[in-house]
Amino acid sequence: MTADLTITDVRLTPVLISDPPLLNTQGVHQPYATRLIVEVVTAGGTCGFGETYGDTKYLEIARPLAAALPGRQVTDLNGLFTLASGVEVDSGRVENSVDVGGLRGVQTAGKLRLSVVSAFEVACLDALGKARDLPVHALLGHKLRDRVEYSGYLFYRWEQHPGGQGEPDDWGAATDPAGVVAQARRFAEDYGFSSFKLKGGVYEPDEEIAAVRALAAAFPGSPLRLDPNGAWSVPTSLRVAAELRDVLQYLEDPTSGTPGMAEVAGQAGVPLATNMCVTTFPEIPEAFATGAVQVVLSDHHYWGGLHRTRELAAVCRTFGVGLSMHSNTHLGISLAAMTHVAATVPNLDYACDSHYPWQAEDVLTRRLTFRDGCVDVPDAPGLGVEVDRERLAALHQRWLDDDGTMRDRDDAAAMRKADPGWVTPGVPRW
């Protein structure tokens, strides 16, 4: 290995990973979820890895970007973003303006590009760190803490996917308060989580209120969050807030849209968090000016990488708005990236979200682990994780073998396997 940091090759490897039947307001997770692994290779022989969404609309952007990168330096992150801003996005991808898979707000050309270039940025940082013998957190100004805390991300879920598709697991069903508490207990025992978020918007609000009450009784004093992904009207949001304000750390996206969130925030008596109405920099001014959100859930994937996550943190700091971290289904490369950047942000005020405990499969030789609800910030060069190429190839083969049904996230289509008449519910649902 030499110090030549010129990019000679960029490899894109879409994979399908097993995913449990987790429920949300749009439907249920498919048996397999798609991710894209981005690998940047330098002339000096260093490989750096990043990870992002693997749906077709992201691959369409990743391919021309990957082709344009050889010859550039892994240090040239500003140039990387300039290059990405020139990649064309099919207008058909953005005309409906809301992201239908993933429940993460608007879908603009810029946001789609950022969701892709973020994985390239992480891969470049991983390569640079390895070449310089420095951990990624050191490239971001050095860690401020040795461990990053995560919360237990609870889902209503079925025991298995319709028709027994996919890979079985031993979690069992969680469709009522007792099931949710049992899931939280296992999370607490296996991972040490001491704060919990329940994905809501699945059942009638009263049932979800009962589940959060049951959690509060089982884990007295633990920070709790409820996230119906914008499924409630303003009056319903206010009713739920009134019922749960004594036990909620924050209420996440109770209703859809910044004006509705502002109305709820004004009277709820509990902070509101979002990964739906503030997901891009242009959405910040209205939301902050109207007091619509008290906590922004950052996500380096769609905010555009680790440097931009730190820029978001600075804006939140300036306006006295809290910061935490959102997650969609992801693998260990992204958990490492999240942990590195989280360790460098002074105002990361809350335990971060992560789907990782739900992912039984990974592309790493050694999975990252949670201890006392925390992930140790890696100090090894780069991201501090090693990719298992055989594993990567096997999960890519599953993607190749798929007939196309799993390659694009569609929770409503997965729900129709159990309920043929299912259509994505309009909002407000309740």
Residues carrying an active site annotation: 199, 326
- Nearer to ligand GLR among residue 115 and residue 329 (C-beta): 329
# chain residues binding ligand GLR, by CB under 6 A: 12
Stretch that binds ligand GLR, among 121-129, 138-146, 323-331, 413-421 (CB under 6 A): 323-331
Are 338 and 309 a contacting pair, CB within 8 Å?
Answer: no
Binding residues for substrate: 29, 108, 153, 197, 227-229, 275, 326-328, 355, 409
| Minimum CB distance to ligand GLR smaller for 135 or for 271 | 271
> Which stretch in 137-145, 202-210, 261-269, 322-330 sits in contact with ligand GLR by CB under 6 A?
322-330
36 membership: H or E segment, kind and range:
strand 32-42
- Rounded Cα gap, residues 46 and 152, in angstroms: 35
Of 120 and 356, which has the nearer Cβ to ligand GLR? 356
Q: Does 328 contact ligand GLR by CB under 6 A?
A: yes
Considering the complex, state which of residue 55 and residue 227 has its C-beta at the smaller distance from Mg ion.
Answer: 227
Binding pattern for the stretch 81-110 against ligand GLR, x by CB under 6 A and - elsewhere: ---------------------xx-------
Q: Is residue 275 within the footprint of ligand GLR (CB under 6 A)?
A: yes
Residue 237 binds ligand GLR, judged by CB under 6 A:
no
Site for ligand GLR in 184-213 (CB under 6 A): 199
- The least distance separating ligand GLR from the CB of residue 150, rounded to whole angstroms, comes to 13
Judged by CB under 5 A, the residue of 121, 227, 263, 410 near Mg ion is 227
Residue 35's φ and ψ, nearest 5 degrees, are: -135, 155
What does the angle CA 417 – CA 153 – CA 216 come to, to the nearest 5 degrees? 115
The reply on whether position 316 binds ligand GLR by CB under 6 A is no
Are 250 and 294 a contacting pair, CB within 8 Å?
Answer: yes
Supply the minimum distance, in Å, between the C-beta of residue 2 and ligand GLR.
Answer: 42
CB 265 within 8 A of CB 238: no
- Name residues contacting ligand GLR, limited to 10-49 (CB under 6 A): 22, 24
361 neighbors 18 (Cβ within 8 angstroms):
yes
- Residue 339 interaction partner, one of Mg ion, ligand GLR, none, beta carbon < 5-8 Å per kind: none
Q: Does 275 bind Mg ion (CB under 5 A)?
A: yes
Report the alpha-carbon distance of residue 248 to residue 246 in Å, rounded.
Answer: 6
| E strand or H helix that includes residue 111 | helix 109-132
Tokens describing residue 379: 């100090």
Q: Which does 249 bind (CB under 5 to 8 A by kind): ligand GLR, Mg ion, none?
A: none
Q: Which residues are paired to 47 by β-bridges? A: 41
DSSP class per residue in 43-99: TTS-EEEEEEE-SHHHHHHHHHHHHH-TTSBTT-HHHHHHHHHTS---GGGTTT-B-
Alpha helical stretches, state H, 249-346: 258-268, 284-289, 300-303, 306-319, 332-344
359 counts as binding ligand GLR under rule CB under 6 A: no
Taking CB under 6 A as the criterion, the residue among 18, 108, 194, 229 binding ligand GLR is 229
For residue 134, the minimal CB distance to ligand GLR (Å) is: 31
Q: Pick the closest to residue 281 from 315, 323, 230 (CA basis).
A: 315
70 Cα distance to chain centroid? 29
Size of the site for Mg ion (CB under 5 A): 3
Please list the residues that pair with 150 across neighbouring strands: 352
Q: What is the DSSP string of 127-182?
A: HHHHHHT-BHHHHTT--S-SEEEB-EEEE-B-SS-GGG-S---S---B-SHHHHHH
- Closest approach, Cβ 179 to ligand GLR, in A, equals 17
Q: Is 160 in the site for Mg ion (CB under 5 A)?
A: no
x-or-dash string of contact with Mg ion, 301-340, rule CB under 5 A? ----------------------------------------
Task: Measure the CA–CA gap between 427 and 356, rounded to whole angstroms.
Answer: 28
- Using CB under 5 A, list all residues that contact Mg ion: 227, 252, 275
* Interface residues toward ligand GLR, by CB under 6 A: 22, 24, 102-103, 199, 227, 229, 275, 326-329
